[in-house]
Amino acid sequence: MSKLAGVKGIHEIAIVLNESNNMDNHVAKQLAGQLSLLSDSGNRVRDWQQVQPMLATIISQMGASNAVILIIFVSAMGFGIVNVMLMSVFERTRELGMLMAIGMVKGKVFSLIIMESTLLGVTGATIGLLASLMLVTLLGHTGIPLGSMAQGLGAFGVDTTLYPTVSANEYVAVFVTVVLVSILASLYPARQILKQRPVDAMSHKH
């Protein structure tokens, strides 16, 4: 290399920091500042964002695009839950009508519906999260090879194998959302059924 370029000695030193945190590279900046003070005036010290401004921009935009994708997924999930809840309550209209007929007070029928929906939500969320935990842990070990799709990334010096991680906070947020949506989605069918007279609820066709 030095023969080819006809340069003597060292012409570039790359410093890899252990604790680098994507965008927040103030440690790198600090270090760069200190180094430029120490070194000769002929040397330039740059952090990676200056070396690769394009990659820096892409990464800084990632937060926004992630949020958009998350919103799309969460609303799709929300509609799914609403659909399941409407069905699971309405398909039992006859049974609930019978309960009112034989003397169960409306408050009890209501709490029955809400309790069942909560249980359904908690069970569904738990199973879903356990499955995703397993999948994410597995992929965290094996990684997701992006292969030829991401050869461009390789040019930026980025690994073409992804190691997904999900934080505990995100799991909690999803769990709470699922359970809340389940409960909210059962309020409407519960009201619709309780408003009917027992005969009408019982003559409900599936």
Partner 1 sequence: MSIEIRQLSKVYNPESDFPVHAVKALDLSIKQGEFVAVMGPSGSGKTTLLNMIGGIDSPTSGAVCIDDNDICLLDDKALIAFRRDHVGFIFQDYSLLPVLTALENVEFVMQLQGHSEQVCRQRATELLNQVGLTDQLHKVPAKLSGGQQQRVAVARALAPRPRFVMADEPTANLDAKSTSELLDIMQQLNEKEGTTFIFSTHDQRVIKRAKRVIVFDDGQLVEDKQQ
**Which positions touch partner 1 (CB under 8 A)?**
94-95, 98, 100-106, 197-199, 202
Nearer to partner 1, 29 or 94 (CB): 94
Nearest to 140 by CA among 158, 159, 160, 162: 162
CB of 108 to partner 1, least distance (A): 8
Burial class from Cβ neighbours inside 10 Å (0-12, 13-18, 19+) for residue 98 reads: middle
Nearer to partner 1, 87 or 130 (CB): 87
Nearer to partner 1, 177 or 196 (CB): 196
Query: What is the distance between the alpha carbons of residues 78 and 120, in angstroms, rounded to a whole number?
Result: 14
Is residue 183 within 8 Å of 82, Cβ to Cβ? no
The amino acid present at 89, given as its one-letter code, is V
Nearer to partner 1, 92 or 174 (CB): 92
CB of 197 to partner 1, least distance (A): 6
CB of 56 to partner 1, least distance (A): 59
CB of 120 to partner 1, least distance (A): 14
Between the two ends of the chain, the Cα-to-Cα distance in Å is: 79
